[in-house]
Amino acid sequence: MSAHMDVKRALWQTFLESAKPTLDQWLTQLEQPQSTQERALLRLLEANSDCAFGRAHHFARLHDSTQFRDNVPIHDYAQLQPWIERAQNESEAILTSSPPLFFERTSGNSALQKAIPYTRAFLAEMHSALTVWLADMHRQVPGISHGSSYWSMSPPLQMPVAGPNGIRIGSASDLAYLHGSHLAGLAGTLLIPEFSGELSQWRRQTLLALLADADLSFISVWSPTFLTSLLQPLFDGETPEHVQTFAWLEAALPASRQSALRRARSQGVCTELWPRLAAVSCWMEGPSRHYFTQLAVRFPQTQWLPKSLFATEGVVSIPFGDGPGCPLAIGSHYLEFLCEDGALRHSHSLRLGETAQVLLTTGGGLYRYALGDRVRVVGMSGATPRVEFVGRATGTSDLVGEKLDEQTVQNLFDRCLATRGAACLIPNAYASPPHYTALVATSRHLDASALALTIETALSDAFHYCLARRLGQLGLVQVRLLDGGADQLAHVLQQAAELSGIRAGDFKPRSLINRLETAEALLALTESSCRHL
């Protein structure tokens, strides 16, 4: 065993020893979800009773979850945004008694980009969840500690800037999330590729760093399409760009790794590239299931571990234990759930088979925040429900993290088309790479190529759509022109809805088709009848 590997095992061992109290506490919490959640809520109310939001909502007078629900309304980002803007501009304590360390950028349903406050308390909540996840992952697959780890890190498209009150907006690196915790010690196990500032070079440098490391033992990404896209030049010799990248990689590697690279290409799998690769962790549920299944073929020797529902705004579930789904993160934030029948449930009262939207209350200053994600209860860990991610709430599409919402798409069509309501955007989830197709009904001649460029430019205003495109996780938007006007489009949409199992009277035409079964039917219906880009 090399000294290099000895160091990484020692770092993991140090982490596991420091994680034991957190893990023991978590095991107790799983058996007591109701009291655990109630205590978490009361801590948050007490800690933030003196901030502007706490005073406005009478936190000091709230003593249980029922009073909290009665005094604090459910918020989406648009409703919370005025408070967040105050926290970015004023020196007074606005959302939390302690000021944010920084605001992290993300995109959402009602705005192209959101700013989520990160406080010390919120990071501690996230650290607890990450500690449980990593410790249990090591229990399942000890081999992840035997070499290097790669945690997907993409270059920041927007550098951090200081807000009006001096609080930073944006983080320079994903490693900032680990600051101040014993998790930071695991940074010494990470393979961290260089970033030169040019995105195409970043992709090459990342792939080169991975290929150069024969001792890679663990890969953690969010979307499986990220890794699929990254590896594409190894297995796709059809495009000049991929041919050029493969030649560049081959020339940059030592002879032993060149041989492994050539064998991987000829065999179509990564086994000889990374013989110690013990596990890959990624999203494996909802819209990601198809992409994960395709990617897993490249790694026949590797164990696949699910990602749970971690979002910029908070953590909903934690990969832990055996069985389907992941247990709710009851020890991190306070969680509520809006069921499809309109009922509001707490973590302990969710029933097997129920599907619900997630509401988060966190130490970062999000209170009864509608995350926009839907989960389904698929099992139990002790007395705590295990859930799996179903998808985004109605009106959004999120194949690889682009998080498009219907209002954004409708606004886009209003700008790009002369006739309103005569177009819809369709996710082509099973293409490689996935992409969106704009179906435009028109009775006049349109330049499909120019229209596609216009729509692509407008879509790229959405932060995470732009990121997914630049990382190669999404392909260019395509355009299909449907002869006729809005009536013809409505007819085709209705056909697709019924073919995909929606009752005829229940279908509502939308500018964004977010149900994948309907999208697939719509693409099949229009494949031969439309003029394509």
Q: How does pLDDT run across 12-62, given as a tens digit for each residue?
A: 899 999 999 999 999 999 999 999 999 999 999 999 999 999 999 999 999
Of 111-115, 235-239, 477-481, the poorest mean pLDDT is in 111-115
What pLDDT was estimated at residue 166? 78
Question: Regarding predicted confidence, which is higher, 418 or 250?
Answer: 250
Q: How does the average pLDDT of the chain come out, rounded?
A: 86
For residue 380, is pLDDT > 90? yes
DSSP state of 259: H
Residues 143, 239: Cα–Cα separation, whole Å: 36
Percent of the chain topping pLDDT 70: 88
Of 155-164, 265-274, 373-382, the poorest mean pLDDT is in 155-164
For residue 82, is pLDDT > 90? yes
Most confidently modeled range among 197-206, 379-388, 510-519 = 379-388
Question: Regarding predicted confidence, which is higher, 449 or 380?
Answer: 380
Question: Regarding predicted confidence, which is higher, 296 or 530?
Answer: 296
User: Rounded to the nearest 5°, which phi and psi values hold at 398?
Assistant: -145, 75
- Amino acid letter, 471: L
Confidence class for position 508, pLDDT limits 50, 70, 90: low
What pLDDT was estimated at residue 533? 54
For residue 479, is pLDDT > 80? yes
Task: Kindly list the distances between the CA atom of residue 182 and the CA atoms of 14, 17, 187, 219, in Å, as whole numbers in the listed order.
Answer: 9, 10, 10, 20
Do strands 114-118 and 314-315 pair parallel, antiparallel, or not at all (unpaired)? unpaired
Residues 209, 210, 213, 217, CA torsion sign: positive
What pLDDT was estimated at residue 530? 64
Task: Kindly list the distances between the CA atom of residue 331 and the CA atoms of 1, 107, 326, in Å, as whole numbers in the listed order.
Answer: 38, 26, 14
Residues 491, 497: Cα–Cα separation, whole Å: 10
Question: What angle in degrees, to the nearest 10, is found between the helix axes of 406-416 and 448-459?
Answer: 140
Neighbour tally for 380: CB within 10 Å: 17
What pLDDT was estimated at residue 134? 93
Of 193-202, 278-287, 473-482, the poorest mean pLDDT is in 193-202
What pLDDT was estimated at residue 274? 95
Confidence class for position 108, pLDDT limits 50, 70, 90: very low
Neighbour tally for 456: CB within 10 Å: 18
What pLDDT was estimated at residue 226? 81
For residue 231, is pLDDT > 60? yes
Collapse the DSSP code of 13 into the 3-class scheme (helix H, G, I; strand E, B; otherwise coil) and give the result: helix
Residues 114, 405: Cα–Cα separation, whole Å: 13
pTM: 0.77
What pLDDT was estimated at residue 112? 44
What pLDDT was estimated at residue 505? 45
DSSP per position, 328-354: B-TTTSEEEEEETTS-EEEGGG--TT-
Confidence class for position 99, pLDDT limits 50, 70, 90: very high
Mean pLDDT score, 465-471: 90
Residues 428, 513: contact at Cβ < 8 Å? no
Do strands 435-442 and 478-483 pair parallel, antiparallel, or not at all (unpaired)? parallel
DSSP per position, 156-220: -SS--EE-TTS-EES-S-GGGGGTTSGGGGGGGGB------S-HHHHHHHHHHHHHH-TTEEEEE
Nearest to residue 430, comparing CAs of 241, 225, 185? 225
Nearest to residue 43, comparing CAs of 448, 451, 387, 362? 362
Q: How does pLDDT run across 138-191, given as a tens digit for each residue?
A: 999 999 999 999 987 655 555 667 778 878 887 666 666 676 777 878 878 887
What pLDDT was estimated at residue 156? 55
Spacing of C-alpha 391 from chain mean position: 11
Nearest to residue 158, comparing CAs of 116, 103, 105? 105
